[in-house]
Chains A and B, each alone.
Chain A
Amino acid sequence: MALKMVKGSIDRMFDKNLQDLVRGIRNHKEDEAKYISTCIDEIKQELKQDNIAVKANAVCKLTYLQMLGYDVSWAAFNIIEVMSSSKFTYKRIGYLAASQCFHEGTDVIMLTTNQIRKDLSSPNQYDTGVALTGLSCFVTPDLARDLANDIMTLMSHTKPYIRKKAVLIMYKVFLKYPESLRPAFPRLKEKLEDPDPGVQSAAVNVICELARRNPKNYLSLAPLFFKLMTSSTNNWVLIKIIKLFGALTPLEPRLGKKLIEPLTNLIHSTSAMSLLYECVNTVIAVTKIVLIIVRINILSCTVVKYLGLLAMSKILKTHPKSVQSHKDLILQCLDDKDESIRLRALDLLYGMVSKKNLMEIVKKLMIHVDKAEGTTYRDELLTKIIDICSQSNYQYITNFEWYISILVELTRLEGTRHGHLIASQMLDVAIRVKAIRGFAVAQMAMLLDNAHLLAGNTQRNGICEVLYAAAWICGEFSEHLEDPLQTLEAMLRPKVTTLPGHIQAVYVQNAVKLFAAVLTRRETAGEKQAAQETTEMLIEKLPQFVQSADLEVQERASCILQLVKYIQKLQAKEVSVAEEVTALFAGELNPVAPKAQKKVPVPEGLDLDAWINEPPSESESEDEKPKAIFQEDEPKHSRPRLTELDEQELARRREARKQEQANNPFYIKSSPSPQKSYQDTPGVDHIPVVQIDLTVPLKVPGMPISDQYLKLEEERRLKQKQEKKDKKKKKKKEKHGKSRRHDSAHTESEEDIAPAQRVDIVTEEMPENALPSDEDDKDSNDPYKALDIDLDKPLADSEKLPVRTHRPSRTEGLKSPDVDTTAEEQRPKKSKEKDKKKDKERKVCYFSGHKDHLFNLLQNPSNHQHLNYKVYDIQGNLQDGSQVVVSVIFENNCTDFLKSMEFNVLDSLNTRLVRPSGASVHDGIAVPFQLPPGVSNEARFVFTVQSIVMPQKLKGTLTFIVKTEDGSTHEKLDFKLHFTCTSYLITTPCYSDAFAKLLESEELKVNALKLDSINMPFHHLLAKICFHHHFSVVERIDSCASMYSRSIQGHHVCLLVKSVSMPSCGQ
């Protein structure tokens, strides 16, 4: 038995360690999964053992397996066990495993809180370090809340190694537990001036990250950062600071000017490309000067080229002209091997185009389209071309014929996915630019003629979408067609039936429009026979659509077939039908803005969510499909009604509807496809139809080459310029003085280029009384929003990091009036105060050592029968040098409810209560809460102060209503507010060298006094001064301490506190 045990132990000793596992996995390449599953079984066995070394080994292996993608969440508890080992070796492994495997969803994480707290306070700095590192990876809101205070303490650890880690991890804590930001921020700020560069850079990192998200709260730090920027030589820190300034400057434009000099210096002096890049970026964001572009462009390695392009795109937003001069360089980048560079360059081109260079740039792009390999890039090019041309409502297009021909050329691209994009552009241009319709129709007819080229081999070919647009344009604007019959024939070719359904549907619909056009021409020319032939042809061709598998096509085709048959009948009776058929499609189509529907205001009293009818019961609704009622019906899917109507009735209805549409601002066209539904009429069917066999040349004849427009355009511009010059000369001759002003307004810029043809871009229609834009809902889920906290507001007592304690009374000391006041009153008497005051106006700030001034606290006997109140702090407002905030705690001592409290102060010349605008000086400020019995609450009041060098006393009254069982009574409480000079001080950290310099400067006035009968420990005394009078300790040696503070108006106040009697008494 014993032997067995021994044997087992020896086996265990030869357990696989990590190296063996890795080796094993490498040796079992073919059955890796199987091998690993046996390993996991072994690990499970190992984890069951008591030996922590074995467990740690197992956990280490698990961490490796986790990386390979195996689920190890089942071992979370074992990981915690290893984490809590007292040996660093295992602890390290445990924390590593935890940081890799734990996430917010891991439920055992809460078990770690105490262990982590223990490790954080470990005497061994590496224990603490390892815990901090681990925590940074798996901190949860709960952990953040519970440990925030511990981590904050570590920020002042003696070892910089711990300090810097603690500072960095604070950022994660802030993210998870935003409430910790305000209490922790002062200390974080102190760390900006930490003697250790690592800690300093950590603090810069954290504050920069915070400030980037919510820059406005950090504006007050700008001077400090500015100092750091000019003094630091650490590039890593500099980059962060510069980035921070980039975020701050938009809020404080004056910063920009200050920054230019140091930034330019850095740009010229640094050898670090990363720093240079950061500077350039910030300069772009910050200033209006573009001085460095050239330096970036000279550099040619890929990485820098990429960033250069990036930077240029930023410049482009503000200074398009300066970038435009680099057009050639950017076009060159289109030839780069790296796709990302090419795409960047494309982005740039988008912003660079102007009326002048659009054609040229697009021409270059077209060349690239031809050369481009790989459909993705080519598609990207295609979309960019269209984007570039169509941006801001075709602003830069001077010649739409050119644009149409570009679009037509683009259709020749093979295998592009963006057929619909081209199609929608064609439709848009044809509809909105009336002048271009003739040309567009001609081009489209050509496209339709050559449809087989496009539709080509595969049905999936996206480009055939273009035919949809072509067919519609030809149909709708058929009056511009030269030979509608030819186009009609082209649209009825058998090959068409291979096109996708929705395109066929459009074909059928527009065939009728064309038919109408043909009829009109024939009849006006008196060629009745020819007209009948056309009808015949239609009747013969349409059945191929009637047989279509696509319902939509089938339906339309059969309707139309009937209509045409009816026409044929009429024709047989020698009735002229053209006019009436044309009437079917009368009416102008106007484009409607895409957002028009959204903009329609909901009429008053209309509740869109309310049921019109009572909702059907569950059982009924099952077989019904109510969605069909409100389905978004695109016109092409609309169902033509199959009622038999005579033509007059038809025309009448049409007219009526047109009228209605014209008057109805809410009528919206959802896509430019035909939206009319028609009835059909029977016809005749015995006219022989000529079979037309079109042999189409491979190269599209007469397909416009967009290049020709380039040349034309140049010539035209030249001519224009010439003309203008002539005109100008004339003008100059005519009127001397005035012409100059005129000139400057219209400089020789692109604005001068007149469009080639009178282009009338129809603006999209919007409904009347459209609501103002309501887009861009901001993302409310932004995790950084929670950190948008005003950091300059003084800390309230309630804002403390939660401290776990068994004695909840600990914080009471601060609030309880008895403790505070008694201590306060005794405190200052005995210390010898030497206070030195520097102030720019050469005034002396007196520190009065008298008991009643000491703490501005509460002068009220405070035991009014109902209400007890206490001013516990008066503090300067950091943002405004002339304001102080007075915090008052109100406590209800009686058993009745207190309400309608009003706080009023008799203003003095120097100090005034800030009242809401509109209130007179005699009005009180309502306290924003009511007090149930026994409850206390804090309110704050802001005062403006003019001079801060003298103490102030203000009288005031508090009125309130006591609500008792038998009614309510009005009560009043008088009080006095004491503003001592220390009320205007703001706790500001100061280092001993700076302090010494201040003392040496001899600008301080000196004043000393001695106080007796203080008996409390010296460090208590210091703490009191710090807390109540907003001083910070600079240095303390035994029973002597130097302290520093700064007033809200920037006066320095130095204080030397010395206890004169023996320290053993605790002075």
Chain B
Amino acid sequence: MMQFMLLFSRQGKLRLQKWYVPLSDKEKKKITRELVQTVLARKPKMCSFLEWRDLKIVYKRYASLYFCCAIEDQDNELITLEIIHRYVELLDKYFGSVCELDIIFNFEKAYFILDEFLLGGEAQETSKKNVLKAIEQADLLQEDPAVLEVKMFKIHLPGLSIFILNDKSALQANG
């Protein structure tokens, strides 16, 4: 079972973290710091696997981002690489040639995709199509943030409601 997944940049900035084992914040921070250092220190031609404490670390670099997973002793490293790659593909499909900035600015989306793909450290859906479909469906349910703001506006500014209402209906029509 995967223990956790970390995404960090070449500068060592954490971009995403998902923990599948309960750990205290302090412990998480310590692990993150240690691993980021270890992985960044490795040269490009080096093997993607390393043993760390009693876990195995599988990492891969995509452009400026490192994807780093910790798995248990008996797990299969190659399938973990596959999982990382699959996740990157998913991000790529969703954002359309994803870049680090996409993940920074839409980090919650990146989490949602990850959650549809992995659950509790296990791959829950091996079909890319299904994952993306689920995300799209869920996104449809989510209200457009623009609409939200408009609604807010309406609540607080009763005098302007006509204008807002028009605007909202226009948005809905678009949606």
Asked if A341 and B78 make an inter-chain contact with CB atoms under 8 angstroms apart, the answer reads: no
- Is B17 in contact with A22, judged by CB distance below 8 angstroms? no
B169 at interface, CB cutoff 8 A: no
Interface residues of B in 36-65 (CB under 8 A from A): 43, 45-51
**One of B78, B148, B151 near A307 (C-beta < 8 A):** B78
A457 part of interface (Cβ distance < 8 Å): no
Known contacts A63-B108, A64-B107, A307-B78; is-contact A137 B20 (Cβ 8 Å): yes
Asked if B157 and A9 make an inter-chain contact with CB atoms under 8 angstroms apart, the answer reads: yes
Q: How far is the CB of B104 from chain A (nearest CB, A)?
A: 6
A96 within 8 A of B: yes
> CB within 8 A of B152: which of A13, A60, A89, A92?
A13
Within the complex, the shortest CB–CB distance from B74 to chain A, in Å, comes to 6
Give the distance in Å from the alpha carbon of A493 to the alpha carbon of B43 in the complex.
Answer: 48
- Chain B residue numbers with a CB within 8 Å of A161 are 134
Q: Is the CB–CB distance between B126 and A234 below 8 Å?
A: yes
Within 8 A of A (CB), among B115-158: 115-116, 119-120, 122-127, 130, 134, 137-138, 141-143, 145, 148-149, 151-153, 155-157
Q: B156: which A residues are within 8 A, CB to CB?
A: 5-6, 9-10, 12-13
| Given A6-B156, A198-B127, residue A103 in contact with residue B22 (CB < 8 A) | yes
In A176-199, which residues have CB < 8 Å from any B CB? 197-198
B141 and A126 form a contact (CB under 8 A): yes
Find B122's partner among A5, A73, A168, A338 (CB 8 Å cutoff).
A168
Q: Taking the complex as formed, is A1027 at the interface, i.e. its CB lies under 8 A from any CB of chain B? A: no
If A60-B108, A278-B76 touch, whether A302 touches B25 (CB-CB below 8 Å) is no
- Taking a contact as CB atoms closer than 8 A, the residue among B15, B79, B134 that contacts A236 in the complex is B79
A-B contact count (CB 8 A): 172
Within 8 A of B (CB), among A301-320: 302-303, 305-307
Q: Does A995 contact B (CB under 8 A)?
A: no
| Shortest distance from the beta carbon of A680 to any chain B beta carbon, whole Å | 53
- Shortest distance from the beta carbon of A984 to any chain B beta carbon, whole Å: 38
Residues of B within 8 A of A864 (CB): none
Interfacial chain A residues near B127, Cβ < 8 Å: 198
Across the interface, do B125 and A274 meet the contact criterion of CB distance under 8 Å?
no
| A223 part of interface (Cβ distance < 8 Å) | no
> Is A918 at the interface (CB under 8 A from chain B)?
no
Contact A302 B104 (CB under 8 A): no
Q: Which residue of A lies closest to B78 (CB)?
A: A274
A205 CA to B76 CA, complexed, in Å: 13
In this assembly, does B10 line the interface, its C-beta being within 8 Å of a C-beta of chain A?
Answer: no
A contact residues around B173 at 8 Å (CB)? none
Q: If the complex has contacts A104-B22, A274-B82, A340-B47, are A67 and B152 also in contact, measured as CB distance less than 8 A?
A: no
Across the two chains, which residue of chain B brings its CB closest to A339? B46
A678 interfacial by beta-carbon distance below 8 Å: no
Task: Give Cα distance in the complex from A130 to B111, angstroms.
Answer: 12
Q: CB distance B157 to A6 under 8 Å?
A: yes
B27 CB, min distance to chain A CBs, angstroms: 10
Query: A403 CA to B43 CA in the complex, in Å?
Result: 36
CA distance A305 to B24 in the complex (A): 36
Whether A212 sits at the interface, judged by CB under 8 Å, is: yes
* A18 beta carbon closer than 8 Å to chain B: yes
A165 touches B122 (CB 8 A): no
How distant is the Cα of A583 from the Cα of B156 in the complex, in angstroms? 104
Complex contacts, B23 vs chain A, CB 8 Å: 103
Instruction: Select A171's contact among B18, B116, B120, beta carbons within 8 Å.
Output: B120
Q: What's the interface size class on A, roughly?
A: 35 or more
Cβ contacts under 8 Å, A96 to chain B:
108, 111-112, 115
**Complex contacts, A201 vs chain B, CB 8 Å:** 123, 126
A280 vs chain B, min Cβ distance (A): 11
B105 within 8 A of A: yes
Contact A22–B29 (Cβ < 8 Å) = no
In the complex with contacts A6-B157, A68-B14, A87-B143, A169-B120 CB distance below 8 A: yes
- Chain B residues near A171 (CB-CB < 8 A): 1, 120, 122
Give Cα distance in the complex from A60 to B105, angstroms.
Answer: 12
When the two chains form their complex, are residues B48 and A303 in contact, meaning their CB atoms are under 8 A apart?
yes
Given contacts A198-B124, A198-B125, A274-B76, contact A92 B130 (CB under 8 A): no
Per-position contact with B for A259-279: 1 when CB-CB < 8 Å, else 0?
000000000000001100110
Residues of A within 8 A of B47 (CB): 302-303, 305-306, 338, 340-341
Q: B-facing mask of A954-974, CB < 8 A → 1, else 0?
A: 000000000000000000000
Please state if A124 and B141 are interface contacts (CB–CB under 8 Å).
yes
**From residue B107, how far is it (CB to closest CB) to chain A in Å?**
6
The answer to whether A165 touches B124 (Cβ under 8 A) is: yes
A9 and B157 CA atoms in complex are apart in Å by 8
Judging by beta carbons under 8 Å apart, are A89 and B142 in contact?
Answer: yes
Give me the interface of B with A, judged by CB distance under 8 Å: 1, 14-20, 22-25, 29, 43, 45-51, 74, 76-79, 81-82, 104-105, 107-108, 111-112, 115-116, 119-120, 122-127, 130, 134, 137-138, 141-143, 145, 148-149, 151-153, 155-157
> What are some 19 contacts across the A-B interface (CB < 8 A)?
A9-B157, A13-B149, A18-B105, A67-B15, A96-B111, A103-B23, A103-B24, A104-B22, A129-B116, A198-B130, A209-B122, A239-B79, A274-B81, A277-B76, A302-B46, A303-B49, A338-B43, A340-B47, A341-B47
A9-B157, A71-B25, A235-B79 known, 13 other contacts, Cβ within 8 Å = A9-B156, A13-B156, A53-B149, A60-B108, A63-B107, A129-B134, A169-B119, A239-B76, A274-B81, A303-B47, A303-B48, A303-B77, A340-B51
6 shortest interchain CB distances as A-B pairs? A274-B78, A9-B156, A136-B120, A274-B79, A338-B46, A89-B142
Interface residue ranges, A against B (CB under 8 Å) = 5-6, 9-10, 12-13, 17-19, 22, 51, 53-54, 60, 63-64, 67-69, 71, 73, 87-89, 92-93, 96, 99-100, 103-105, 124, 126, 129-130, 132-133, 136-138, 161, 164-165, 168-169, 171-172, 197-198, 201-202, 205-206, 209, 212, 234-236, 239, 243, 273-274, 277-278, 302-303, 305-307, 337-341
